[in-house]
Amino acid sequence: MSSHDAALVTKDLFLLENQLPFEVLTKLMSFRNPDHKTRMKILTAFCDQVRAFPPGTELKEKITKFFCELPRSLTLGSSQGPAPDQPAAHLLELLHKQFCSRTIVPEQSEKSSFKNDSQMNWYRYYPAEELRSIGIHFKPSKTGLFTDVQFKRRWLISRSLYIPPLRIDNSTKSLLLNLVAYEASHGESNESRVTSYVCFMDSLIDTPRDVQVLRSKGILLNTLGSDEQAAELFNQIASRLIPDPYAYIQVKSSIEKEHRKVLKKWVAMWLRVYFNSPWTFIAFVAATFTIILTAIQTYIALFPLKDR
């Protein structure tokens, strides 16, 4: 297969309507190669390749290796999270487990505390460019898990929002839509992890400028061609989705609290304007020094020193 054909086959493999039960799939693959030794390595490597960031080895080699060595029986694991209790029913569910292995909803006690706090029952959405203007920095998470979104405070004014990196290409929309469709077919809120992730990203992306902010920080790798196309991708997918209201609730709460602190907004804006580059910093120091000298000169002119 050519690389183009391999990409099309991969897209078809993860369509919800194309899913074969693993019991059938592994039976078919056993005629080709019954070896069990490398089953976990093959499966996880194949799923890793689908969401590779940046792209790694040739995709067609991964597909060939996958079909040649898929074992009869399957006990799933994940290279990025704990192994699930039950094996996946099909390939799409395997990918979902691989990249959504952590919960994004708080414990029951934490849910109760948020319910009792009337001020924390709703949160406004702020685009990435606006959050950057108040001093919130964006950084890629150390894992590719859709659920690995964190808000961390360091020192007095340093605040960072960690988001899993994502490569955006021609297959991204299809992959996200099928993962969302898979979650909708289950009908359980605790399974709405990709749905909640897409809605959260949509809340950060309103315009191409927001995409540029996330792209400049290594969170998005846009291979579609323009930031406008990437922004439209999330806006279109999330237009009719309903996320879990408790997904990323600690992150949303922290962002809302930070946005209400007017003094920190001023400090963040001052740092962004005058310390954005060495040249602006030098200009600021020079201007400050000039003002100080002018003030001293004016004071001496108004109140000359008396000769002793």
- Of 71, 57, 79, 74, the closest CA to residue 6 belongs to 57
Q: What is the signed CA dihedral for 83, 103, 45, 17, rounded to 10 degrees?
A: 100
Q: Where are the domains of the chain?
A: 3-99, 124-263
Per-residue CA distances from 116 to 109, 112, 113, 241, 248 (Å): 11, 6, 5, 26, 18
For the chain, percent of residues with pLDDT exceeding 90: 28
User: At 7, which helix (H) or strand (E)?
Assistant: helix 3-13
What are the phi and psi torsion angles at 188 (to 5°)? -115, 135
Q: From CA 169, how far away is CA 175, in angstroms rounded?
A: 10
265: pLDDT strictly greater than 90: no
HSE of 90, CA atoms in CB hemisphere, 13 A: 14
Give me the mean pLDDT over the 254-276 stretch.
69
* Model confidence pLDDT, tens digit, residues 109-136: 455 555 555 444 567 788 999 898 888 8
Backbone dihedral region for residue 218 (phi beyond 0: left; psi -120 to 50: alpha; all else: beta): left
* Model confidence pLDDT, tens digit, residues 227-264: 999 999 999 999 889 888 888 999 999 988 887 775 56
216: pLDDT strictly greater than 60: yes
The per-residue pLDDT for 84 is: 45
Q: What is the signed CA dihedral for 136, 139, 145, 149, rounded to 10 degrees?
A: -10
* Model confidence pLDDT, tens digit, residues 29-74: 777 766 755 555 666 677 777 776 554 434 555 565 556 555 433 4
Q: Which residue has the higher pLDDT, 3 or 53?
A: 3
At residue 308 the predicted structure's pLDDT band, cuts being 50, 70 and 90, is very low
The per-residue pLDDT for 78 is: 39
Q: Which residue has the higher pLDDT, 62 or 8?
A: 8
The per-residue pLDDT for 181 is: 93
Q: From CA 95, how far away is CA 76, in angstroms rounded?
A: 11
The per-residue pLDDT for 82 is: 42
Decide: 99 and 144 in contact? Cβ < 8 Å.
yes
HSE of 107, CA atoms in CB hemisphere, 13 A: 2
Mean per-residue pLDDT of the chain: 77
**Cβ-Cβ contacts under 8 Å for 59 (sequence gap 6 or more):** 3, 6, 7, 10, 49
Per-residue CA distances from 166 to 80, 142, 143, 144, 221 (Å): 15, 12, 11, 8, 6
Q: Which residue has the higher pLDDT, 148 or 267?
A: 148
For the chain, percent of residues with pLDDT exceeding 70: 68
